[in-house]
Amino acid sequence: MLNARLRSAKTSSLERERALRASEERFRLLVGGVQDYAIFMLDPTGHVVSWNAGAQRIKGYTADEIIGKHVASFYTPEDVAAHAPERVLKTARREGRVEVEGWRVRKNGSRFIANVVITAIYDDQGALSGFAKVTRDITVRKQAEEALRAGEARLAGIIDSAMDAIITLDGEQRIVVFNDAAEEMFGCRVQDIVGHTIDRFLPPSARPNHAEYIRAFGATGVTNRSMHSPGVLVALRADGTTFPIEASISQVDAAGQKLYTVIIRDVTERKRAEEALTQQTATLKEQAQLLDLAYDAIMVHDLEQGTIALWNRGAEAMYQWTQAEALGKSSHSLLQTQFPIALQEIKAIVAQEGAWEGELIHTRKDGHQVTVSSRWALRPAETDGAMAILEINRDVTERKRAEAERAALLIREQTARAEAEAAVHTRDVFLSIAAHELRTPLTALLGYAYGLQRRAQRQGGVGEREQRGLASITAQATRLNKLIEALLDLSRLQLGRFALDLQPTNLAALTRRVVDEVQSQLELHTIQLEAPQEVQVRGDDLRLEQVLHNLLNNAVKYSPRGGTIQVDVQQGLGRVFLSVTDQGMGIPETELPFVFSQFYRAANVDPRRISGLGIGLYVVHEIVTRHGGTITVESREGQGSRFVVSLPEIDTAAAERSDGDRPAVDNIPNAADEQTTSA
């Protein structure tokens, strides 16, 4: 009985063992035939103990090549260096199972992305028997996922960076996508608008038509179309303002759901530009009519090619080419333009500064050349918005010819002036030499005449006729001597040899002395003098005496017989005034500006009765001016004249202190001057 039970038990054990081996064989055959998964066993230390066909296909190793090798053979060098294989096995041992994804290495060194599941296996006693490892190659899937994410990111970037508003609606026309441009265009944030219908951005009057349009469009199956003619739709901003838009719509089925994408462009600025262009076109037409009225040649041509796009009537008249002949031609070739600088330089200046001015030479249709004053300005073209050059030309040919003639005339005048100045200089030199040469014999002649007069007076015996002859000789010789002295003064002034010896001078005493001297020689005229005892000026005594002598001689010469001459010396405001007044014939008012000119003689003077060279007043004016003074004349024809000399007054005490100082000298004479003076 016992034996029967033992045999029965032994039989059952053998049957279970056979069943287990059969089950293991079926599992081995099942696992070994799997091609898509690498399924293999590791011992507790991580070495490979089994290897299926999927493992060989994925990893490239045969069972003979890999069994007994450590699981680290499948890891990248950087993961091995970081002890990743040990960490994974440790986690599986601790937690019983671990799943990771990462890069693995095949036998040929290529890499792939693997999904790995490692399960710890324990025996009946709880001891670790090893690990079961299942590896799946997910490289293709990962690459597809990355590509999808990248595509989605690019699409999102494109949508958000688009300048147009992009709005996506679901089948209920509720907003699911609202890009950055849409936020800016409509003035609301994406979080405040997603889930709402697009009716929020349509004027109330347009909403029914829009909803019907979307339903009709969804039923057509057409992928995209323009919602309406561009520029006639109106949209509504969040603040309630409306603006014109262009819009296009597309539809797509995504996972059984219909989506609509609307692209909206704000055309407010374009509409304004179109209106401005319309206005500009009308203005340009008006301007074109005005341009035809201009006398200047006005043309517009391309900045690069120079092709004529506008040619007004002024250009037709100036160049003789009709508008039909000129349009479309190269203006510079048509007119054979001669530029002052290279054409490319002019274009560069216009492109940079916006304008250029200069003179050009153009050739008319008949071959004649015209010189034009040309102005170029950069301006937008009337059609495509490119830049063009507005050129305005004015014919200055006659003006240039006149300028050339004036320049030639100026050269001739300058030459004549130089020749005249040379002649004047030659004259002055001649006068100087002639005066010196005449003065020597005249001085001797005058000395002999005076000697004969004195001898005749002492000895008597000379008849009345002879006495009158001697008196006439003496008077004429004296007159001639004065004329020569005047010519010498004129020569000195012209040649720059007129010297002054400036010293403190009592002008009142000098005036009394000269008046007494002149009065003693007068028979028919009376000189009345009013002067203080002392008035100080800085002057040359000899030259100031010459001034007063000349003024008194003039007064006597032009006064009636028995007339009175008034001489006054006054002072005030730091000036000394010396005046000589006569009751003579006076000077015509029209001739007063010329009184102090060289060789001037009034038109009302009879040269046969009153002699003179017209030098005296010129010399007086020069002497006074060189003293820092002025001389003026007041006269009325038939009533007399009054000459007033004004000189700077000097302080008497200061004059005494500076009496020993070197005098201020104007035009110090050289040796030749000294010889001239002594002569």
Looking at the fold, whether 616 and 515 belong to one and the same domain comes out as yes
Residue 408 within any structural domain of the chain: yes
What pLDDT is stored for residue 391 in this prediction? Answer: 87
Containing structural domain, residue 365:
276-373
444-478 burial: b if 16+ Cβ within 10 Å, else e: ebbeebeebbeeeeeeeeeeeeeeeebeebbeebe
Residue 144 within any structural domain of the chain: no
> Hey, what long-range contacts does 177-180 have (CB within 8 A, 24 or more apart)?
177/261
Residue 384 within any structural domain of the chain: no
Region of poorest pLDDT, from 208-212, 409-413, 542-546: 208-212
Looking at the fold, whether 415 and 514 belong to one and the same domain comes out as no
158-182: average pLDDT: 80
Strand 564-572 to 526-530 pairing: parallel
Residue 578 within any structural domain of the chain: yes
Domain count within the chain:
5
Whichever domain contains 56, its CATH number is: 3.30.450.20
Q: Which of 331, 465, 341, 450 is nearest to 388 (CA)?
A: 331
How much is the mean pLDDT over the chain?
Answer: 78
What pLDDT is stored for residue 157 in this prediction? Answer: 61
What pLDDT is stored for residue 537 in this prediction? Answer: 94
What pLDDT is stored for residue 39 in this prediction? Answer: 92
Q: Please work out, in degrees rounded to the nearest 5, the angle formed at the alpha carbon of residue 612 by the alpha carbons of 610 and 618.
A: 130
Looking at the fold, whether 283 and 205 belong to one and the same domain comes out as no
Looking at the fold, whether 157 and 129 belong to one and the same domain comes out as no
Looking at the fold, whether 464 and 322 belong to one and the same domain comes out as no
Which pLDDT band, with edges at 50, 70 and 90, does 674 fall under?
very low
Query: Taking 50 as the threshold, does the pLDDT of residue 531 lie above it?
Result: yes
The number of beta carbons lying within 10 Å of the beta carbon of residue 347 is 17
Looking at the fold, whether 283 and 261 belong to one and the same domain comes out as no
Q: Please work out, in degrees rounded to the nearest 5, the angle formed at the alpha carbon of residue 238 by the alpha carbons of 232 and 243.
A: 20
Query: Taking 50 as the threshold, does the pLDDT of residue 27 lie above it?
Result: no
Which pLDDT band, with edges at 50, 70 and 90, does 669 fall under?
very low
Region of poorest pLDDT, from 33-37, 150-154, 407-411, 412-416: 150-154
Looking at the fold, whether 444 and 554 belong to one and the same domain comes out as no
Please provide the DSSP assignment of 594-661 as one string.
GTTSTT---TT--TTTS---S-HHHHHHHHHHHTT-EEEEEEETTTEEEEEEEEEB--HHHHHHTTTS
Region of poorest pLDDT, from 472-476, 515-519, 631-635: 472-476
Residue 611 within any structural domain of the chain: yes
Region of poorest pLDDT, from 27-41, 74-88, 162-176, 277-291: 277-291
pLDDT tens digits for 427-472? 666 665 655 555 556 666 666 666 766 666 666 656 666 666 766 6
Task: Pick the more confident residue, 280 or 36.
Answer: 36
What pLDDT is stored for residue 263 in this prediction? Answer: 87
Residue 387 within any structural domain of the chain: no
Looking at the fold, whether 257 and 191 belong to one and the same domain comes out as yes
Q: Which of 424, 444, 476 is the last residue of a domain?
A: 476
Tokens, residue 259: 């989506």
**6 Cβ neighbours under 8 A, 6+ residues apart:** none
Task: Pick the more confident residue, 544 or 489.
Answer: 544
Helix (H) or strand (E) holding 504: strand 503-506
Range with top average pLDDT, 147-156, 338-347, 478-487, 661-670: 338-347
Whichever domain contains 658, its CATH number is: 3.30.565.10
Task: Pick the more confident residue, 426 or 282.
Answer: 426
Query: Taking 90 as the threshold, does the pLDDT of residue 203 lie above it?
Result: no
CA distance 449 to 438: 16
CA distance 620 to 598: 11
Looking at the fold, whether 24 and 126 belong to one and the same domain comes out as yes
Task: Pick the more confident residue, 384 or 270.
Answer: 270
Query: Taking 80 as the threshold, does the pLDDT of residue 388 lie above it?
Result: yes
What pLDDT is stored for residue 289 in this prediction? Answer: 55
Looking at the fold, whether 357 and 426 belong to one and the same domain comes out as no
What pLDDT is stored for residue 582 in this prediction? Answer: 92
Report yes or no: 540 and 576 within 8 Å, Cβ to Cβ: no
Task: Pick the more confident residue, 254 or 85.
Answer: 85
What pLDDT is stored for residue 158 in this prediction? Answer: 61
What pLDDT is stored for residue 678 in this prediction? Answer: 26
172-201: average pLDDT: 86
Residue 484 within any structural domain of the chain: no
What pLDDT is stored for residue 660 in this prediction? Answer: 45
552-563: average pLDDT: 85
Looking at the fold, whether 172 and 39 belong to one and the same domain comes out as no
Cα of 203 vs its chain's centroid, Å: 51
Q: Which of 266, 290, 315 is the last residue of a domain?
A: 266
What pLDDT is stored for residue 232 in this prediction? Answer: 57
Looking at the fold, whether 77 and 157 belong to one and the same domain comes out as no
Residue 348 within any structural domain of the chain: yes
Query: Taking 90 as the threshold, does the pLDDT of residue 177 lie above it?
Result: no
Query: Taking 60 as the threshold, does the pLDDT of residue 20 lie above it?
Result: no
